[in-house]
Amino acid sequence: VSNAGVGMVGPLECQSLAAMQSLMDTNFFGLVRLVKEVLPDMKRRRGGHIVVISSIMGLQGIVFNDVYAASKFAVEGFCESLVVQALRFNVAISLVEPGPVTTEFEAKVYEEAERADYSRTDPETADIFTNLYLRNSKDVFASLGQTPEDIAEHTLRVIEAARPPFRHQTNVAYTPMAALKHADPSGALMTDAFYKLVFKYDAVLRLSLR
């Protein structure tokens, strides 16, 4: 089970390349290093199961999560490319894709975001992040957040499955969000829906979450 991860939220202009590279080294290359270690032996034995804790943000990018989502997209692409070869050797690969999970990990990321310096971006972007994104995120976690124990139960079901799924989403509330992308290959439907959700109907979003 690959579960190493770090988070990053905020305006892109306020994030250093060094921090981005460090995040990718953990979230993506950490997985790659693990798979390189265990896969050869699994192939020799013609049996094994690699379970990767991904994220719904590996399927759909979320505003102000640019680099974190990129790392999870990399995880998804890596595993999607590898799974067919692995199956030839009777090795299963499963992606567990949670939405928001209420942990100290998330709390620390958002606490740091509230204290961060946003002088390197324009005032409008800083205002959108602090007064729209951070405020809405608290409501999202309070309303839709799962516990670590819940994610562990989902992961256990994937591990014990007679035919392990390649993808397993843990929160049905996010299924429509992921489906938008597939409903319109041009991306216009998804982009328009998220734009309106963030900038036009944020009050309705907060009310519905509460």
Q: Annotated catalytic sites, by residue? A: 68
CA distances from 164 to 96, 158, 159 (A): 11, 6, 7
Distance CA 200, CA 210 (A): 18
Q: Which residues pair with 146 in a beta bridge?
A: 101
Residue type, 175: T
CA distances from 54 to 48, 137, 174, 178, 187 (A): 19, 19, 14, 14, 22
Quote the strand ranges of the chain, DSSP E: 48-53, 91-97, 167-169
User: Helix-strand-coil percent breakdown of the chain, rounded to 5?
Assistant: 65, 10, 25
User: Are the beta carbons of 94 and 53 closer than 8 angstroms?
Assistant: no
Distance CA 76, CA 52 (A): 9
Instruction: Give 13's DSSP letter.
Output: G
User: Are the beta carbons of 66 and 7 closer than 8 angstroms?
Assistant: no
Instruction: Give 51's DSSP letter.
Output: E
